[in-house]
A and B are shown apart, each in its own frame.
Chain A
Amino acid sequence: MGSLKRFSSKIIKIINLQELLIGLLIILSVSMVASYVYNRINPFQELGIYVRQLVNLNFGEYMPSIRIMNQIYLPIFPDLLHFYLNSMALLLAALVLGITIGLTIAVLLFFIKRRLRKPILFFNYLLLSFPDFMLILVLQAIVIWVYIKTGVKLGNVIGRYDHPAILLPLISLSLFPMIYTVRMSVNAFQEVFSQKYILLAYSKGLNKAEIIFRHVLKNSLPAILANLPSIMQITISNMFIIEILYNVRGVMYFLYNSGRSIATILPALLIIWLSYFFINRIIQLFVVRFKGEGLDA
């Protein structure tokens, strides 16, 4: 019984009603403004019509491409889920890839000389302040350049229906998590290295590899995990640019390309924000459990 009560209170903590309502309000107003600019219909009227449609389980229609002259309309409901799954697969793959590689690089950095570490870390910091689109455009340009010069196709630069781009978007999207994780992990490792028990471990005769894997990695994990929400937030933001630059058929592509109305913008923005919101809350709970502290409401 007690565990059930704990479980239900945990659920309530995950669903933070106030934040949910504020987010819904912002997203609703953004989609109403955007819809008004394009359609010049009273947005409140449009919202009323949309809500009435929703009651009848009609999710409205979208334009598959805004550029085709004779417009085709398709129902939003099953298609948006498809776009969403594409986005989420890309996002999760990029996060896992980026964070894994980032952590590996950070560990490797502690096995090289400290003198060599500094310039690498500075370069890493420099990359971190470069906006994503610059790195992506450089990546695209290099791939195209190599293709023009040598005829070797390193990856699909722009996706089509039958031939989606996978490798390059994944690499581009995982760049930020990787760079950020390197920085944060190195900071966390250094923090642990300044503790007295590291000195004790050394004096007991443990070698560096043992110390890093047994003490440093384990004790800095909560600090690294605490950065996950901000990594995810910026990665989602980068996804907007990446899906447009590579024609990846995800939610952001849907948002950008399928006509501007409340029926298209509201669900797309909401679905992406809600998934961020819940993953974020769950991570928070886990990190808090790691640290053994109470959740601040």
Chain B
Amino acid sequence: MRNTKSGLFKIGIVLLIMIAILTIFAPWIAPYGVNEMDPPRLQEDGSWRAPPFPISAKHLLGTDTNGYDILSRLLYGAKYTIGFLIATAILRLIIALPIGMYLGWSEGRMAKLLVRFFQVWTTLPMIIIAFFLLATLMTIDSIILKITFQAVILTVVGIPILSNTIHLHTKEIKEAEFIEGAKVLGGNGLHILHKHIFPHLKPRLLLLWIMELVQVLSIMGQLAIVNVIIGGVHMSFFNGIPTIKPNIPEWTALITISRYRIFQSPYLLLGPLIAYALVLITLVFISEGLKEKEDLSEASYELD
């Protein structure tokens, strides 16, 4: 049991290093440039073939509808997607931590109402709220501003759930006897929160953060299905046919583009889904490895 789990943790770390290397050295690894398009080709029978081109030796994961090599776009886009992911998850944690600790500590009416508010918020489907709130950014032209606001909205949407979790953890620690002791010795609230509760909360924060990463990653993908793309897109018309180009080479945009082509070329999904799965598996393996230290295997009387 123990061996397999720490083995998973090691695999997770190896995968993490691999992803980091691929992300940092993308410009040297990628077979094509980030904006290098493969133009429509003349085929042997004299007809023209427009992109997307299928998987071949030339394009290992095919090209998207604009003729971009999907593998190259994934490699270049990793830093945007993963960067956005990390930033949003950190932002969530930084804001939710004091709120959650306050809610767990305080027994005032305001705190109780806020807990109730957060609990109700949790029952609403997060994707729908995020979708409607992100629609407010439609009119923003500046790409950097748009990405910033997208991160802020995804943070705001996730804060209630995370605060609620931290609130429960804080409450659990608060029940411990040493807190009672600190209170008797005359420690005030802030001192106890800082010196006694936070040190016990700290080891759980990394795990919570990784869970947030998984959560943000999945909501980004869900938003791609409803055509909300990180960084936005710009639409241009070529002979009256609209072509959609993402502003930054980002993974979720590839999901949006390839999902509309699922009937003609289902293989387009292969690249973005593999990339997504790789990041997810890494996170899951690492979080499992972290969890291992906490839980003890319980006795079981089960006989085979």
Contacts and interface: CB of A to CB of B under 8 A. Distances in A.
Contacts of A114: 302, 304
Most buried by B among A23, A33, A134: A134
Interface string B276-288: 1100110110001
List 4 tightest A-B contacts by C-beta distance, closest first: A131-B218, A141-B266, A237-B125, A34-B132
Interface string A182-221: 0000000011011110110010000010000000000000
A84 interface: no
A199 B116 contact: no
A110 B125 CA distance: 34
17 contacts: A19-B120, A22-B120, A30-B128, A34-B135, A114-B302, A114-B304, A134-B221, A141-B267, A144-B263, A144-B266, A193-B300, A233-B125, A241-B226, A255-B128, A256-B226, A269-B124, A276-B123
A62 interface: no
Contacts of B214: 129
A118 interface: yes
A265 B132 contact: yes
Contact of B301 (A23, A145, A199, A273): A199
A132 B276 CA distance: 12
Given A22-B116, A194-B299, A131 B221 contact: yes
B277 A133 contact: no
Given A193-B301, A194-B300, A199-B301, A145 B266 contact: yes
Contacts of A140: 262, 266
Interface centre among A132, A141, A244, A252 (most CB of B within 10 A): A141
A273 B124 contact: yes
Given A33-B133, A137-B269, A202-B303, A23 B262 contact: no
Nearest to B258: A137
Given A33-B136, A114-B304, A129-B284, A194 B125 contact: no
A126 interface: yes
A18 interface: yes
Nearest to B123: A233
B138 interface: yes
A131 B302 contact: no
Contacts of A265: 132
Interface of B: 1, 4, 116-117, 119-129, 131-133, 135-136, 138, 214, 217-219, 221-222, 224-226, 255, 259, 262-263, 266-267, 269, 273, 276-277, 280-281, 283-284, 288, 298-304
A44 interface: no
Contacts of B121: 26
Contacts of A256: 226
Contacts of B124: 23, 26-27, 269, 273
A272 B124 CA distance: 9
B276 A134 contact: yes
- Among A133, A194, A269, the most chain B Cβ lie within 10 Å of the Cβ of A133
Contacts of A273: 123-124
Most B CB atoms within 10 A — which of A22, A198, A256?
Answer: A22
A111 to B, nearest CB: 9
A134 B277 contact: yes
A40 to B, nearest CB: 10
Contacts of A31: 132
Would you call the interface of chain B mostly helix, strand, loop, or mixed? helix
Contacts of B300: 190, 193-194
A125 B218 CA distance: 15
A129 to B, nearest CB: 5
A198 B302 contact: yes
A265 B119 CA distance: 22
Contacts of B273: 134, 137-138
Given A38-B135, A133-B225, A141-B266, 19 more contacts: A19-B120, A26-B129, A37-B136, A113-B304, A114-B304, A130-B280, A131-B219, A134-B277, A137-B273, A148-B266, A157-B262, A157-B263, A194-B298, A195-B301, A233-B122, A236-B125, A240-B222, A272-B125, A273-B124
B278 to A, nearest CB: 12
Interface in A227-260: 233, 236-237, 240-241, 244-245, 252, 255-256, 260
Contacts of A237: 125-128
Residue of B125, B255, B280 most packed against chain A (CB within 10 A) = B125
Contacts of B269: 137-138, 141
B123 A277 contact: yes
Nearest to B266: A141
A22 B117 CA distance: 6
Given A33-B136, A34-B135, A134-B273, A26 B120 contact: yes
A265 B301 CA distance: 53
Contacts of B133: 30, 33-34
Contacts of A30: 128-129, 132-133
A65 interface: no
Contacts of A33: 132-133, 136
Contacts of B281: 126
Contacts of A284: none
Contacts of A137: 255, 259, 262, 269, 273
Contacts of B221: 131, 133-134
Contact of A19 (B1, B119, B128, B304): B119
